[in-house]
Structure formats: C-alpha cells, structure tokens
Amino acid sequence: MRYITLALLLFTAACTKAPQVVNEVVAVGSAKLPSSPADPAWNDAPVHLAKMIPQDLVEPRLMTSSTPEVRVRSLTNGSEIAFRIDWDDADQSDMPGPAKMVDACAVQIPEKIEKDLAEPQMGQAGKRVQVTYWRSDWQATVNGRGDTIRDLYPNAAVDHYPFQAKPLEKESADQKEMALRYAPARALGNIRSGPRSEPVEDLVAEGPGTLAPGPSLGSKGKGEFGKQGWSVVIIRKLPDGLAANQRTHVAFAVWQGSKQEAGARKMRTGWIPLVRRDQ
C-alpha cells in the first residue's frame, strides 16, 4: 500500500510539475483533442524538445540562427492527431505589411509510412510530404481582426475604392465581384490574407520550392501568444496507416516575423520519430 501511495505521489508530481521529457514525439491516446493550447489535457502528453537548425540548404538561406528549439506534445483520438508546439519569441509579429513578416509554424509528415524516408526538408520528387501551416496574422483574423486597411493601419485614410462607389450597393454581389478585380490573388482562390475560418492550411511538397495546396487534412489550429512566446495547437488527420504503437516521422519549422523570416528563411528540425501510443 505504501508503494502504491508513493507511486501515486510521484505520478501526481510528474503531472503537475516538470512534464515528462521523451526523445521522440509520442502521440498519446485521448478521447477528446483539446483545441486550445491552454487546455490542461495537454499535461497528459510528454514533451519532446526538438532542436532547430537554420534552413541552409537552398538559397535564400537563413544565415543567423534564431529559434533554438520547439517544445512539442501530441495527442490522438484515433482519427486525428493534435500537436502543441511551443517556442520562445520575444515579439508577437502578426501584422503583415511591406517588410513586416509574421510569426508562423508548420508540421511536416511523410505522406506514406516508408522505410526509406523522404528528405527532411520539404520532401523530394516521388516522396511527398504533407505540411500543415499555421500563421499568426491568420490567427488574428480568426480572432476577429477585420478585413480593411484600417485594421492594419488604424490611421489610414482612403479617398476612394471604385468598388465602393455608387450605384454599387454595399455588400451586393456586384460589389463583391468588382472588388475581386482589384484583388487578383483572392480572385484566383489564393487566400493568403483576409477572411478565413481557420488559421491553418494544408499543403504538400516534393522538394524545396514545390509547396502547393494539398488535399484537405481537415486541419484546425489555434495559437496564443504568452509571456514566453507562442503556443500553437495544430490538429490534422492521423497519418494514413499509423496504427497503435507504430511509428512514422514528423518535422517542424518556425518563422519569427520580427527576424524577417518567411518562406525559405526559417528554422527547422530534422525528422523526428512520431509514435502512436493509445492508452
């Protein structure tokens, strides 16, 4: 009985104090996946400390190392997998603009579970990787930031937008159609900014420079900025074929907007084993 009490005490201490640190990413079984990084359910998952290296394989490279590591936890409900990614960041950069980059992170998983792994940086031809990408300005939009220039520059004065002139009625289909003519990326469905319901997007890649929108993995996300930096939850479909106690791999990337990081200028990890442990 004494031993059981001791074990119980130790277990409780482990849950409330320092989290268990593991040398791979362990996706722990959980009926419910927490959508918020603040959810105490994350305490059930051990932490993996993933060292980051600068992207220095293809130009433009990141020449100065920034984010040293990400702290990763993972949970799975058997059909989806959730990651909570934490990193230290002194500045919350979520305002896009000329020479203003935004904070972001991404989770990369091989499309197929194979012995012969794809290149850890964006995969390679014939060995596709799936990337789920979260971005801080998208988070701000989901949190309620409006879709006007004044939401980015509160003192902006605009004389005239042709699509807001009479006889076009406010919010009419005609007005929306005309506004799209002045926003070609939106007209083409390349929603890099503006209204959206999730701060994440699903992508695929077969090597650097090939990143493209991929089939939906039903991804969701939520990021919160705290005293230490960002804490971001990314939930996506469980990798195909990842049965209990089986392994695949995962890699992470982080961009710090305040350090002008975007695209190829990023900190990244190599492949890290990802194991599914149902309880």
Partner 1 sequence: MARVYNWQLGREMSYWYPENRPQKQFAAVFDTNKCIACQTCTLACKTTWTSGKGQEYMLWNNVETKPYGSYPLAYDLKLLDMLNGQQWNGHKYEGQTIFESAPAGERVLGWRPEQQDYAYPNVGEDDCAGQVDHGSFLSLPHMNWFFYLARICNHCTYPACLASCPRGSIYKRQEDGIVLVDQSRCRGYQECVRGCPYKKVFYNPMTGTSEKCIACFPKIEQGIQPQCFVNCIGKIRLAGFISKPEQARPDNPIDYLVHIKKVALPLFPQFGLEPNVYYIPPIHAPVSFNRQLFGPGAADAMKTYRNAMNDPDLSGLLCLFGSTENVVPHFRRQGDTVVGSNGKDELVRVPLREPVHIRPAVDPKNQLIRINCP
Residues that bind partner 1 (CB under 8 A): 56, 58-63, 96-101, 137, 147-149, 152, 156, 158, 160-163, 179, 181-194, 208-209, 211, 260, 262-265
| Two tokens, residue 222 | 């939520």
Q: How far is the CB of 261 from partner 1 (least distance, A)?
A: 10
- What are the residues whose beta carbons fall under 8 Å from the beta carbon of 241, sequence distance 6 or more? 112, 113
CA 239 to chain centroid: 16
Q: How far is the CB of 151 from partner 1 (least distance, A)?
A: 9
The residue (of 15 and 158) whose beta carbon lies closer to partner 1 is 158
* Closest to 25 in 3D by CA, of 87, 67, 68, 71: 71
Q: How far is the CB of 35 from partner 1 (least distance, A)?
A: 24
The residue (of 19 and 208) whose beta carbon lies closer to partner 1 is 208
The residue (of 60 and 218) whose beta carbon lies closer to partner 1 is 60
Q: How far is the CB of 122 from partner 1 (least distance, A)?
A: 11
The residue (of 46 and 207) whose beta carbon lies closer to partner 1 is 207
- What are the residues whose beta carbons fall under 8 Å from the beta carbon of 255, sequence distance 6 or more? 101, 102, 103, 104, 105, 261, 262, 265, 266, 267
- What are the residues whose beta carbons fall under 8 Å from the beta carbon of 235, sequence distance 6 or more? 33, 35, 80, 81, 82, 83, 219, 220, 221
The residue (of 86 and 137) whose beta carbon lies closer to partner 1 is 137
Beta bridge partners of 192: none
| 76 membership: H or E segment, kind and range | strand 69-76
The residue (of 162 and 273) whose beta carbon lies closer to partner 1 is 162
Q: How far is the CB of 222 from partner 1 (least distance, A)?
A: 20
Q: How far is the CB of 74 from partner 1 (least distance, A)?
A: 27
Secondary structure (3-state) at 184: helix
What are the CA-CA distances from residue 23 to residues 71, 111, 206, 275 (Å)? 11, 23, 27, 11
The residue (of 147 and 278) whose beta carbon lies closer to partner 1 is 147
Q: How far is the CB of 212 from partner 1 (least distance, A)?
A: 8
Q: Is 115 left (phi over 0), alpha (psi -120 to 50) or beta?
A: alpha
What are the CA-CA distances from residue 231 to residues 1, 214, 274 (Å)? 40, 25, 20
What are the CA-CA distances from residue 189 to residues 192, 195, 211 (Å)? 9, 12, 16
The residue (of 186 and 237) whose beta carbon lies closer to partner 1 is 186
Q: How far is the CB of 250 from partner 1 (least distance, A)?
A: 22
